Amino acid sequence: MNEHFQPRLPPGQQLAAPNKWPLIGERGPRPSSDPWTLTISGLVDLPTTFSLDQLCKLPQTERVLDIHCVTRWSQYDMRFSGVLLSDLLNSVGVSTEARFISFVSRSTRNHSSSLDLNDALSFETLIALDFNGQPLSVEHGGPIRNIVPGRYFYKSVKWLEAIELLSIDRLGFWEAESGYHNHADPWQEERYMAPAIDRRLAAELIAKRDFSGLDLRSIDCSLRELPGLNARGSALRDANFRDANLANSDFSEANLSNAHFQGANLQGAKFVGTDLEGANMSGANLCGADLTGAFLTGTTFGESGKLPQIDSTTIIPENILAPLTPDQLQLVKDLLAGFA
Ligand SMILES: Nc1nc2c(c(=O)[nH]1)N[C@H]1C(S)=C(S)[C@@H](COP(=O)(O)O)O[C@H]1N2
Ligand SMILES: [Mo]
Asked if CATH classification 3.90.420.10 holds for the domain at 14-28+35-188, the reply, yes or no, is yes
Q: What is the reported pLDDT for 207?
A: 95
Among residues 220, 217, 229, the alpha carbon closest in space to that of 269 is found at 229
Mutate which of 153, 155, 177, 297 for ligand 1 pocket (most atoms within 8 A of beta carbon): 153
* Residue 47 DSSP label: -
**Per-residue pLDDT reduced to its tens digit, 225-242:** 999 999 999 999 999 999
Q: Give me the mean pLDDT over the 200-219 stretch.
A: 93
Q: Give me the mean pLDDT over the 18-26 stretch.
A: 93
Q: What is the reported pLDDT for 340?
A: 65
Residues with CB under 5 A from ligand 2 (ion): 24, 69-70, 153-154
pLDDT confidence tier of residue 4, bands split at 50, 70 and 90: low
C-alpha 31/C-alpha 327 separation (Å) is 38
- Name the residue with the closest Cα to ligand 1, atom 17: 24
If you measure from the C-alpha of residue 74 to the centroid of ligand 1, how many angstroms do you get, rounded to a whole number?
A: 13
If you measure from the C-alpha of residue 153 to the centroid of ligand 2, how many angstroms do you get, rounded to a whole number?
A: 5
Ligand 1 atom having least distance to the Cα of 107: 1
C-alpha 339/C-alpha 254 separation (Å) is 28
- Name the residue with the closest Cα to ligand 1, atom 21: 23
**Does the structure show a pLDDT above 80 at 85?**
yes
If you measure from the C-alpha of residue 206 to the centroid of ligand 2, how many angstroms do you get, rounded to a whole number?
A: 29
C-alpha 55/C-alpha 60 separation (Å) is 9
Phi, psi for 160 (deg, rounded to 5): -65, 125
C-alpha 152/C-alpha 11 separation (Å) is 12
Residue 174: nearest ligand to its CA? Answer: 1
**Per-residue pLDDT reduced to its tens digit, 274-310:** 999 999 999 999 999 999 999 999 999 999 889 999 9
Q: So what's the architecture of 195-340 in CATH?
A: 3 Solenoid (2.160)
Q: Give me the mean pLDDT over the 50-78 stretch.
A: 97
C-alpha 218/C-alpha 107 separation (Å) is 27
C-alpha 26/C-alpha 37 separation (Å) is 20
Phi, psi for 41 (deg, rounded to 5): -145, -170
C-alpha 294/C-alpha 273 separation (Å) is 5
If you measure from the C-alpha of residue 98 to the centroid of ligand 1, how many angstroms do you get, rounded to a whole number?
A: 25
- Which segments of the chain belong to CATH 3.90.420.10? 14-28+35-188
**What number of other Cβ atoms are within 10 A of residue 111's Cβ?**
23
Q: In DSSP terms, which residues pair with 100 in a beta bridge?
A: 116, 166
If you measure from the C-alpha of residue 24 to the centroid of ligand 2, how many angstroms do you get, rounded to a whole number?
A: 6
**Does the structure show a pLDDT above 80 at 196?**
no
- Name the residue with the closest Cα to ligand 1, atom 16: 24
- Name the residue with the closest Cα to ligand 1, atom 1: 158
If you measure from the C-alpha of residue 154 to the centroid of ligand 1, how many angstroms do you get, rounded to a whole number?
A: 6
Q: What is the reported pLDDT for 194?
A: 75
Prior bond of 143 cis (ω within 30°):
yes
Q: What is the DSSP string of 63-89?
A: EEEEEE-TTSEEEEEEEEEEEEHHHHH
C-alpha 149/C-alpha 141 separation (Å) is 16
- Which segments of the chain belong to CATH 2.160.20? 195-340
Q: What is the reported pLDDT for 64?
A: 97
SS (H, E, C) 78-138: EEEEEEEHHHHHHHHCECCCCCEEEEEECCCCCCEEEEEHHHHHHCCCEEEEEECCEECCH
Residue 75: nearest ligand to its CA? Answer: 1
Phi, psi for 92 (deg, rounded to 5): -100, -15
